[in-house]
Amino acid sequence: MTDPTELSDLTATPPHGIPVPPQGCPAHAKPVVALHGPLFQQQPAELYRRLRREHGPVAPVELEGGVPAWYVLGYRELHHVLANDQVFARDSRRWNQWDRIPPDWPLMPYVGHQPSVMFAEGPEHRRRSGAISDALGAIDQFELRQRCEAVADSLVDAFVVTGQADLMAQFAHPMPALVVAKLFGLPDVEAPGLVRDLTRSLDGGDDAIAAYGRVADAMRKLVHRKAVAPGPDVPSRMLAHPAGLSEEELTRDLLVVLAAAQQPTANWIGNTLRLMLTDDRFAVTLSGGRRSAGQALNEVLWEDTPTQNFVGRWATQATELGGHRILPGDLVIMGLAAANTDPQVRPEPDAGAVGNHAQMSFSHGEHRCPFPAPEIAEVIAKAAVEVLLDRLPDVVLAVGPDELEWRRSVWMRGLAALPVEFTPAYLVR
């Protein structure tokens, strides 16, 4: 189980072979902009423009608690960071700020080092990510599409007779959770609790660490069950993989896979539905045509990507990035959403939205989202959007677009709620 004490212990002592970075603040003693708060929550694009205008492609920022970091918002600079694991590495125990980070820091669940694939490097990372890719690659995507449509239909069935719904709580969040639960061999009844705790852990509130611990406990119990009684599921395939994962390694890595599958996919669905409900280009015309769900899904990855920021990389040596001197142990945050809108590579705002899949939403390099995870996420998201619009053809927002509120997470870009109205329908199936 991952608890605050365990996280604190893991981050306090660098592993053998990793040099202890110099203590003290990075070069930017007085960060200019906070990567949290109302402006960041509701209008991150405005914040990114301000950072780019004042600092260029790399900017000094502060996280909650006044913690300094470097924020990469240039597309080319982000590509450079993600492609250079030797200089910008994943093991967070290199961080030169641990002496000022309290054990209950709200962002600890995704910054504190854990022995998982997320923080592994070199051959160890390739061993563990290979097991994930092979286990996911065994999923039949035709069967997956059928399963997704069935899950989406069942979710719509639960509220179609009411004429109103919150599409985040009642559709977007449970959709990938129920699909992943089946892929993991979990009972459906466990999905709502996992969604709740994953959301809390990513939003960084007072319950973030405890919520993350509960999800870890659920994965540990699942692995133990599969070790005793394997089945046709992802955990069982990973247990049997030649990589020889221990139960503890598998527990950690399944937690990473679950978090990476459920939250980004849920917000990809929600952000796409918001776009299609607020943009006239996706409205049904008199001739019955509109831009497709596939086009909307791709546009969201460019303009409102669900994983807006990702932590992180830690400099292994002094280096230069975007005109700034980065010191050993400095934290570098990947601004995926900001890089997608970099005017240096997209001078025309709509240039990358149609037919262009070079967005950074699934990251890049050795630690990118492993194949075929992005394809699986797209199957889930596309099925969800298409089924919902087919079942509720006259669905509209129940509030004004400006009344929609975004979650406070520094990592995820997603709506707190998406209230809609539609003509009630009687179940005939």
**How do the domains of the chain map onto residue ranges?**
4-421
Query: What is residue 8's predicted lDDT score, i.e. its pLDDT?
Result: 33
Residue 40 confidence (pLDDT): 81
Residue 405, pLDDT score: 94
Greatest alpha-carbon pair distance for the chain in Å reads: 67
Using CA atoms, how far apart are residues 332 and 311, in angstroms rounded to an integer?
7
- With a cut of 70, say whether residue 113 has pLDDT above it: yes
Among 110-124, 221-235, 238-252, 351-365, the least confident range: 351-365
Question: Rounded to two decimals, what is the model's pTM?
Answer: 0.86
> Is 80 exceeded by the pLDDT of residue 50?
yes
pLDDT of 181 above 50: yes
How many C-beta atoms surround the C-beta of residue 54 within 10 A? Answer: 10
Which tokens hold the place of 219?
A: 């994965």
What average pLDDT score do residues 100-123 get?
Answer: 91
> What percent of the chain has a predicted confidence (pLDDT) above 90?
60
CA distance 94 to 18: 7
Three-point CA angle 429, 383, 421, nearest 5°: 65
Size of the chain, expressed as the number of residues it contains: 429
**Could you give the CA distance from residue 306 to residue 59 in angstroms, rounded to a whole number?**
21
Which residue from 205, 223, 274, 246 is spatially nearest to 420, judged by alpha carbons? 274
429 or 381, greater pLDDT? 381
Residue 3 has pLDDT above 80, yes or no: no
Residue scoring higher pLDDT (423 or 5): 423
Choosing among 1.10.630.10, 3.40.50.920, 1.10.3260.10, 3.20.130.10, the CATH entry for 4-421 is 1.10.630.10
The answer on pLDDT for 355 being more than 70 is: no
Q: What is the pLDDT of residues 232-285, one digit of tens each?
A: 999 999 999 999 999 999 999 999 999 888 889 999 999 999 999 999 888 754
231-236: list long-range contacts, CB under 8 Å, 24+ apart: 231/185, 232/185, 233/183, 233/184, 233/185, 234/135, 234/136, 234/139, 234/183, 234/184, 234/185, 235/184, 235/185, 236/185
Greater confidence, 359 or 231? 231
Lowest mean pLDDT among 130-144, 151-165, 290-304, 339-353: 339-353
The Cα-based distances of 30 to 67, 68, 119 in angstroms read 10, 8, 28
Give pLDDT, residue 1. 32
Residue 424 binned pLDDT confidence (cut-offs 50, 70, 90): very high
